[in-house]
């Protein structure tokens, strides 16, 4: 076991909708909600700064395993990715599956 994982890629919303339809879902509704999660993203820089200070205090250095660095980079990069609104977004997706 590697101890961490990563999503290999992201679907486009149109392809995802098509897959839902292919799976038999009806009444599919897709709502873009990226701005609703913005407040929860605002804390990321503070959490990363707190993490670095804690590491410096505890270990007297920032020498960390690769996986720990990935845990720091991911939220910061997520904030940058979120700026590309035409390519990335958070969606609320609902649908009905007949015959369940």
More confident residue, 17 or 4: 17
What's the confidence (pLDDT) of residue 54?
81
Other beta carbons within 10 angstroms of residue 82's beta carbon come to 16
For 14-45, how does the pLDDT look when each residue is reduced to its tens digit (9 = 90+)?
999 999 999 999 999 999 998 887 777 777 77
Residue 18 region by backbone torsions, left for phi larger than 0, else alpha for psi between -120 and 50, else beta: alpha
- The whole model's pTM is what? 0.58
Q: What residue spans define the domains of the chain?
A: 13-94
């Amino acid at each position: 076991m590697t101890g961490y994982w990563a999503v290999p890629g992201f679907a486009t919303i149109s392809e995802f909708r098509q897959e839902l339809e292919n799976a038999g879902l009806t009444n599919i509704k897709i709502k873009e909600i990226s701005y609703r999660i913005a407040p929860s993203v605002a804390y990321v820089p503070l959490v990363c700064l707190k993490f670095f200070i804690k590491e410096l205090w505890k270990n007297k250095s920032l020498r960390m395993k690769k996986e720990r660095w990935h845990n720091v980079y991911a939220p910061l990069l997520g904030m940058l990715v979120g700026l590309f609104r035409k390519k990335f977004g958070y969606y609320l997706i609902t649908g009905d599956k007949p015959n369940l």
